[in-house]
Amino acid sequence: MQHDTLTKLGEFAIKQRRRFDPSNVEDLQAFAYFRKHSKWLTGCPFFLEWPYHDVIVMCQSKYTDYMLTRLPKSKQRK
């Protein structure tokens, strides 16, 4: 019986995870909560994606890349 309960909890946790989207306010709020409190509010909500080895580094990198794409394009000097 114990094994069945743990399996169901694991399946629930996996179904609740999603890809981190730096343009999604809910994802940013979850990440901001982690940054402030050094823990997730209800467990880590994000899948770890390749090539990352760590969810936190992944979120930081994806957020940085997203923000860099939003910078105004500067005129190149000749």
Compute the average pLDDT of residues 17-21: 96
CA torsion through residues 41, 46, 52, 57, sign: negative
Radius of gyration of the chain (CA): 17
Given pLDDT bands bounded at 50, 70 and 90, which one contains residue 20? Answer: very high
Convert the pLDDT of each residue in 35-68 to its tens digit: 999 999 989 999 999 999 999 999 999 999 999 9
Q: Kindly tell me the burial class for residue 17, based on how many C-beta atoms sit within 10 Å of its own C-beta (0-12, 13-18, 19 or more).
A: middle
Distance (Å, rounded) from C-alpha 43 to C-alpha 13? 8
- Tell whether the model's pLDDT for residue 13 goes beyond 60: no
pLDDT the model gives residue 50: 94
**Domain ranges, ordered by start, for the chain:** 17-69
* Predicted TM-score of the model (pTM): 0.73
Structure tokens at 69: 């794409």
Structure tokens at 45: 């909500």
